[in-house]
Chains A and B, each alone.
Chain A
Amino acid sequence: MNRSRIARTAVVAGAVGAVVLTGGGIASAETEVAEPATFTSAFTAMATPAMVINNDGVPTPGQPGASGSFMYRINSDLDVICYDITLTGVTPPYQSPAKTATHIHQGAEGKAGPPRIALPNPEDDGSGKLVSSGCLQGPFTTGVLANGADTGTGFTLAQIEADPAAFFTDSHTAAYAAGAVRGQLTQVPVGGVETGAGGTADTGSSTAPLAALGGTAALAGAAAVALRRRAGRG
């Protein structure tokens, strides 16, 4: 582990992070941090109402017609997770016994399981979509106690990398307390794609003629997310 990087992160994380690193306190809250320069893995989930399982392990369909696109990028060396969440057709108010109502739980498909991370709830970005973006650094707490301990205690992001299918993500609302939408995590590549080795297609500039085509709605939306994140970072 790179010591200087830890130190730098602690500075970014600020006072709370410093407290955590010095081992102080019980159930210190995770810290909002800037996006790290690199990631070790990425995961997505297509969350749907049909996937929702209640705490007793019984299928309990969520909000009809709703869906959620969840993207998580992880740097397990730093225990940092960056989230980009878009919910469509989910009607707040959110409701959960945890400190937020949007979670990563440990549980296989078709099974219930405790929350390990509580993420900020997606809010209307002005276009009618509910979005949430940012980065958190562990140790994590959820506000839910099991056997006297917070269900985030002892959890690290490396556990998701070790077995992503053992985790799901969801959002809970007042009307759909078991979950409005839920999806299992699946791994996707992180970073750019190495699809050229020769240099024969060198365009010499970073402006593609094709960019003039105008992006698709989906990519344009994502670009907006990226811009927002960049703005937020600054």
Chain B
Amino acid sequence: MRSGRVSLLAGCLALALSGCGEPAADTSSGPRGAGSAAATASPPTPAPIPVPGPAPAAAPGSAAVVDPATVPAPVSVAIPAIGVVSALPELGVAADGTAEVPTDYDLAGWFSGGGRPGSRGPTVLLGHVDSTAGPAVFYSLRELVPGNVVEVTVADGSTARYAVTGAEQFAKDEFPTAAVFGATTEDVVRLVTCTGAFDRGARSYVDNLVVTAERLP
């Protein structure tokens, strides 16, 4: 009756048919800035990203586990090493149980049912690797190396800084839900996109890339 694989493929097909393959040109609402990174298929253009404000979003590593609902929501992400700057629309769970993904290929999004900077983790950010029109916001995610900084700005204007610690690739049909979305006491960010071989019939990649970044003091 219901197959995760089938629904995944169907979801992908729906995306393609609904014209999500074309990066949205309408930028009339909301901040934008990923366009430059997304349009650049070639390696990093390390434009310096100013780090606003001295106040980090809450102190990491406190003894008590902080409830995400008590701290400000993420509003944008910057990954200077690969030129990513993006607002972070909220993402939830689709009716078939799978992850909602950004409708705008130039924007990453954050899973609002997970952690937030300054609380228990994980803060999960999802972004497309490409669209039918070319590279998307997380196209260069696979170029990240340990130590690269991920900056997540939250609603009160403060910025939490994280350092990349590793990346792993998983077949979508063996996606480690617990490892990526499972609640953790750690204030960590996970960046998720597609990778691996592209199944042209399904118009879908067979793997997911998961980059983990841990909170910097």
Binding site for B on A (CB under 8 A): 1-2, 5, 37-42, 44-46, 48, 50, 65, 67, 69-71, 73, 77, 84, 88, 183, 186-211, 213-216, 218-219, 221-223, 225-226
Interface window among B29-37, B49-57, B73-81, B134-142: B134-142
Chain A residues whose C-beta falls within 8 Å of the C-beta of B198 in the assembled complex? 196, 198-199, 201-202
Q: Is the CB of A191 within 8 A of B4?
A: yes
Bound-state CA distance A50–B64 (Å) is 9
Bound-state CA distance A192–B134 (Å) is 21
Q: A-B pairs with the 3 shortest C-beta distances?
A: A192-B172, A222-B179, A196-B194
Q: Is the CB of A216 within 8 A of B212?
A: yes
**Is B45 positioned at the interface, with any CB of A under 8 Å from its CB?**
no
Q: What would be 20 A-B contacts, judged by CB atoms less than 8 Å apart?
A: A38-B5, A44-B182, A71-B182, A189-B100, A189-B181, A190-B97, A192-B8, A192-B173, A194-B204, A198-B133, A198-B134, A201-B198, A202-B196, A206-B196, A206-B197, A208-B209, A210-B142, A215-B166, A219-B168, A219-B212
Q: Is the CB of B8 within 8 A of A191?
A: yes
Chain A residues whose C-beta falls within 8 Å of the C-beta of B21 in the assembled complex? 197-198
Chain B residues whose C-beta falls within 8 Å of the C-beta of A200 in the assembled complex? 41, 129-130, 134-135, 139
Q: Is the CB of A187 within 8 A of B93?
A: yes
Q: Which of B2, B96, B135, B166 contacts A219 (CB 8 A)?
A: B166
Known contacts A37-B3, A38-B2; is-contact A189 B214 (Cβ 8 Å) = no
CB < 8 Å A-B pair total:
261
- Sorting the interface of chain B by its residue count into under 10, 10 to 19, 20 to 34 or 35 or more gives 35 or more
Q: Is the CB of A196 within 8 A of B136?
A: yes
Q: Which of A2, A197, A222 contacts B12 (CB 8 A)?
A: A197
Q: Which of B5, B126, B136, B188 contacts A193 (CB 8 A)?
A: B126
Known contacts A201-B139, A210-B144, A222-B179; is-contact A188 B169 (Cβ 8 Å) = no
Bound-state CA distance A91–B8 (Å) is 41
